[in-house]
Amino acid sequence: MDATKQEPGAAPTTPTESIPASNFIRDIILDDLRTDKCQGRVHTRFPPEPNGYLHIGHAKSIHINFGLAAEFGGKCNLRFDDTNPCKEETEYVESIIEDVRWLGGDWGDRLFYASDYFDQLYEWAVQLIRSGDAYVCDLSAEQVRQQRGTLTRPGEEGPDRNRSVEENLDLFERMRAGEFPDGSRTLRARIDMASPNVNMRDPVLYRILHAEHHRTGNKWCIYPMYDFAHGQCDSIERITHSICTLEFEDHRPLYDWFIEKLGIYHPQQIEFDRLNLTYTLLSKRKLLTLVQKGYVGGWDDPRMPTISGIRRRGYSPEAIRAFCRNMSVSKTNGTTELSALEYYVRNDLNKSVPRVMAVLRPLRVVVDNYPEGWMEELDAVNNPEDESMGTRRVPFSRVLYIEQDDFRENPPKQYYRLTVGREVRLRYGFFIKCVGVVKDERTGEIVELRCTYDPESRGGNSPDGRKVKSTIHWVSAQHAIDAEVRLYDKLFLKENPNETEEGQDFTANLNPKSLEVLTGAKLEPSLHDTVPGNRYQFERLGYFCVDRESSPGHLVFNRTVELRDTWAKIEKKL
RNA sequence: UGGGAGGUCGUUCAACGGUAGGACAGCAGACUCUGGAUCUGCUUAUCGGGGUUCGAAUCCCUGCCUCCCAGCCA
Beta-sheet pairing, A481-488 with A446-454: unpaired
> Does A374 contact strand B, using a CB cutoff of 7 Å?
no
* Proximity of residue A327 CB to strand B below 7 A: yes
Is A572 catalytic? The answer is: no
User: What's the confidence (pLDDT) of residue A53?
Assistant: 98
Q: Which strands form A43-46's sheet, in the order they lie side by side?
A: A43-46, A75-80, A111-113
Categorize the per-residue pLDDT at A177 as very low, low, confident or very high, splitting at 50, 70 and 90. Answer: very high
pTM for this predicted structure: 0.94
Averaged confidence pLDDT in chain A: 95
What DSSP string runs through A232-279? Answer: HHHHHTT-SEEEEEGGGGGGHHHHHHHHHHHT---PEEEEEPPP-BTT
CB A161 within 8 A of CB A190: yes
Asked if A284 is an active-site residue, the reply is yes
* Closest nt by CA–C1' to A572: B35
**Gap from A270 CA to B5 C1', Å:** 12
> Residue A21: its pLDDT value, please?
65
- The one catalytic residue among A37, A49, A173, A458: A49
Judge whether residue A11 has pLDDT over 80.
no
Domains of chain A, earliest start first: 1-110+237-352 (3.40.50.620), 132-225 (3.90.800.10), 355-573 (2.40.240.10)
* C-alpha–C-alpha distance, residues A176 and A190, integer Å: 20
Q: What angle do CA A521, A523, A526 make, to 5 degrees?
A: 160
Nearest nucleotide by C1' position to the A343 CA atom: B24
Question: Which nt has its C1' nearest the CA of A539?
Answer: B34
Please name the nucleotide lying closest to A285, CA to C1'.
Answer: B73
From the CA of A257, how many Å to the C1' of B67?
Answer: 25
- Residue A548 appears among annotated catalytic residues: no
ipTM: 0.96
- Torsion (CA) A93, A95, A99, A102 in degrees, nearest 10: 110
A555 Cβ neighbours under 8 A, 6+ residues apart: A481, A482, A483, A484, A523, A527, A530, A546
Chain A 452-471, CB < 7 Å to strand B: 459-461, 470-471
Using a pLDDT cut of 90, give the percent of chain A over it: 94
Residue A219 has pLDDT above 50, yes or no: yes
Which of chain B's bases lie under 7 Å from a protein CB? Answer: 1-8, 10-16, 22-27, 33-38, 66-74
Å from A496 (CA) to B50 (C1')? 38
Which of A234, A233, A171 shows the shortest CA–CA distance to A208?
A171
Measured between alpha carbons, how far is A76 from A165 in angstroms, rounded to an integer?
A: 39
DSSP A213: B
The tens digit of pLDDT for each residue in A108-160 reads 999 999 999 999 999 999 999 999 999 999 999 999 999 999 999 999 999 99
A443 touches strand B (CB under 7 A): no
Q: What is the pLDDT of residues A427-474, one digit of tens each?
A: 999 999 999 999 999 999 999 999 999 999 999 999 999 999 999 999
Element (H, E) at A212: none
CA distance A432 to A474: 12
pLDDT confidence bin for A574, thresholds 50/70/90: confident
